[in-house]
Amino acid sequence: MTNGKKSRKNILIGVLIAAAIVGFFVFAIVKSKNGDSSIDGIVSVKKVVKQDVDSTVFTNGVVVAKDSRTLYSDLSGKITSIIGKKGDWVKKGDILIKLDSTDIERNIEEAKIALEISKESLRELNKSGKSNFDIALRNTENDLEDAKRNYNDNKKLYESGAISTAELNAVKSIYEKAKNNYASTLREYKGYGNESKIKIQQLNIKSNEINLEKLNEMLEKTYIKAPIDGTIVELKLKEFDNISQGTPLLKIEDTKDLVVKTNISEYDINSIKLGQKVVVKSDGTLKEYSGKVSEISPSAQSISNGQGYETIVPIEISIVGDIKGLKPNFSSNVEINTAFEKEAKVIPYESIYTSKEGEKYVFVVNTEDTLSKKMVKLGISGDLVVQVLNKDINEGDKIVLNPTDSLKEGSKVKVSEAMN
């Protein structure tokens, strides 16, 4: 998919080389036959003109859906129903396939019962503990009140000197023991004496809740739903087929949002930019569609082209506007407009002379029919002409075609009108 400008330019360069060789021999023959020794030869020229010029990269690609999804089954089971058929347009969330859920639904009912049993068991533990500890709590509470009252009475006696310190400490010890007994009984009362059993039962409830949640998730997975709006393009299963987990079920593509995937030669990729206008010509519809460069791969790839390997960069082109008749997998010819200049000064490719050092020159015929050799700065490359950016080369200047090594700065020439 990299026909590109490079192959076309290679052909053009070959033609130009052949023309240059022919031009050299013509120049030599003419010069030898020319009676005027002051004339170095006869040359063909082309005038510098202004015209719109654009640069286009040509390639080919394949039309694909921007969004394409293959649906897989997360469960093993039997297909009980298929809603829709190949070619149907579906909406995101639509149920497309239903798997048998009989066993899962039965397990859900059993899980609900197990959860309710564990909750009821917790309620029974709490209830049985309460009756056993009500009396114990009241008794320790009464003991604490008696011990506190006795301690306060003896404290007053101690302060009046009626009892000794040892006697007060003995009463205080009884009071402290009563407080500890009350606190311990209160803690047990709050758990009704079954702290460990209650904790275990709470964990059982949590486990049953998790199990029920998992079963409900499995039930949801028996409904295969469309993940996007799109067209069912593949559906090879039928009702009552048994499938395994991970089986591909169907494929959906958004056939209303199409792109062209293509490859660009490494020689042309630097001229490709996001947003550039593209003309897509479909082999399937024989129509032209508008597009733009929407994605450029950050890395290059090496691919086989039948004669060896070439380096390319994958790009993506979005189709803009009407896509009527266009379908995924259609082949297409792509023309990417990489540059455009209105009323640019242009010269033909065959007027450019390239030195051994790689510098590019043109020979301009002056009013005295002498040559001026000028290094050129080139701009946009069109199919047959190239933009020249020099300020010292103007519209109407006569540029020598197929220049050869024999031409020099200051050479006097005769312009051949017949060859112009």
**Region 94-114 average pLDDT:** 96
pLDDT of residue 136: 75
In CATH terms, 4-65+257-415 corresponds, of 3.30.70.100, 2.40.30.170, 3.30.70.360, 3.20.20.70, to 2.40.30.170
The 3-state DSSP composition of the chain as helix, strand, coil percent (nearest 5) reads 35, 35, 30
- The domain segmentation of the chain, as residue ranges, is 4-65+257-415, 71-99+224-253, 103-219
Beta strands in 283-416 (DSSP E): 288-296, 301-304, 309-320, 331-348, 353-354, 360-365, 371-375, 378-381, 385-388, 398-400, 413-415
pLDDT band of residue 25 (cuts 50, 70, 90) is very low
**Closest Cα to residue 255, out of 61, 60, 86, 71?**
86
Poorest-confidence range of 62-71, 138-147, 194-203, 269-278? 194-203
Evaluate if residue 20 carries a pLDDT over 70: no
Which residues lie below 8 Å from residue 86, measured CB to CB, with a gap of 6+?
232, 233, 234, 235
Evaluate if residue 21 carries a pLDDT over 70: no
pLDDT digits (tens, 9 = 90+) for 156-193: 988 888 888 988 898 899 989 989 988 887 776 665 55
**Does residue 329 contact residue 318 with C-beta atoms inside 8 Å?**
no
The Cα 419–Cα 409 span in angstroms is: 22
**Region 373-383 average pLDDT:** 92
| Average pLDDT value for the chain | 87
Evaluate if residue 6 carries a pLDDT over 90: no
pLDDT digits (tens, 9 = 90+) for 400-409: 999 988 899 9
Continuous segment of H or E residues that includes residue 10: helix 4-33
**Does residue 143 contact residue 178 with C-beta atoms inside 8 Å?**
yes
CA distances from 285 to 61, 88, 288 (A): 15, 22, 8
The pLDDT > 90 percentage for the chain reads 63
Evaluate if residue 331 carries a pLDDT over 70: yes
**Region 285-312 average pLDDT:** 92
* Range 71-99+224-253 classified under CATH 2.20.25.10: no
**Region 315-341 average pLDDT:** 92
Poorest-confidence range of 39-48, 54-63, 122-131, 236-245? 122-131
The Cα 213–Cα 144 span in angstroms is: 49
**Does residue 300 contact residue 313 with C-beta atoms inside 8 Å?**
yes
**Does residue 90 contact residue 226 with C-beta atoms inside 8 Å?**
yes
pLDDT digits (tens, 9 = 90+) for 63-82: 999 999 999 999 999 999 99
pLDDT of residue 93: 95
